[in-house]
Amino acid sequence: MEEPVVVQKAPYVMKTEPRKYAWCACGLSQGQPFCDGAHKGTGFSPIIEEITVERNVAWCGCKLSKTKPFCDGSHAEL
Ligand code: FES
How does pLDDT run across 10-31, given as a tens digit for each residue? 999 999 999 999 999 999 999 9
**Residue with CA nearest ligand 1 atom 4:** 35
DSSP letter, residue 70? B
Rounded CA-CA distance 32/47 in Å is 13
Atom from ligand 1 closest to the CA of residue 27: 2
Residue 50: partners with Cβ closer than 8 Å, 6 or more residues away: 19, 20, 21
Q: For the chain, which residues make up each domain, given as ranges?
A: 12-77
Percent of the chain with pLDDT over 90: 97
Q: What is the structure's pLDDT at 1?
A: 63
* Prediction pTM value: 0.95
